[in-house]
């Protein structure tokens, strides 16, 4: 099998894991919240899975870039910006800080979900911005 195809399959499998983890962690902001903090049940497992999936997404993405000699289409840059939005909004949503209100956490989650849907849409549509 072609190396690029193998990396792409791994990358998309990990994206599927990330989608599942984002959905699972979303429930912690709506069920069993404690004050302004998310539900602590299975927190360590979900955090570990989220960190693992984000790290593997970055590593397989960089590997794919190296294999392609950094030749990308114009929509790739929008995908990177949306990934950074996803990453930062998940940090805001789940940061261990009591000063962050539950409404702010839920807004961070909503922004993350919109960014994730935007990334998936870009990958499916592959628009030509140039």
**Is 91 inside a domain boundary?**
yes
**In contact, 111 and 89? CB cutoff 8 Å:** yes
**Is 8 inside a domain boundary?**
yes
Q: How many residues does the chain have?
A: 130
Number of domains present in the structure of the chain: 1
Stretch 108-130: mean pLDDT: 93
**In contact, 28 and 39? CB cutoff 8 Å:** yes
* Mean pLDDT, rounded, of the chain: 94
**Is 42 inside a domain boundary?**
yes
Host domain of residue 108: 3-125
**Is 130 inside a domain boundary?**
no
pTM, two decimals, is 0.91
**Is 63 inside a domain boundary?**
yes
**In contact, 22 and 113? CB cutoff 8 Å:** yes
Stretch 96-102: mean pLDDT: 92
């Amino acid at each position: 099998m072609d190396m690029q195809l193998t990396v792409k399959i791994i990358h998309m499998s990990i994206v599927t894991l990330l989608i599942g983890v984002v959905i699972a962690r979303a429930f912690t902001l709506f069920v069993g919240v404690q004050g302004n903090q998310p539900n602590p049940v299975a927190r360590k497992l979900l955090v570990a899975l989220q960190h693992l999936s984000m790290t593997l997404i970055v590593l397989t993405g960089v590997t794919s870039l190296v294999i392609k000699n950094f030749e990308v289409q114009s929509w790739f840059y929008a995908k990177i910006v949306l990934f950074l939005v996803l990453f930062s909004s998940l940090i805001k949503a789940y940061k261990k800080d009591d000063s962050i209100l539950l409404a702010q956490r839920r807004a961070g989650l909503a922004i993350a979900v919109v960014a994730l849907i935007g990334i998936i849409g870009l990958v499916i549509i592959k628009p030509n911005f140039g």
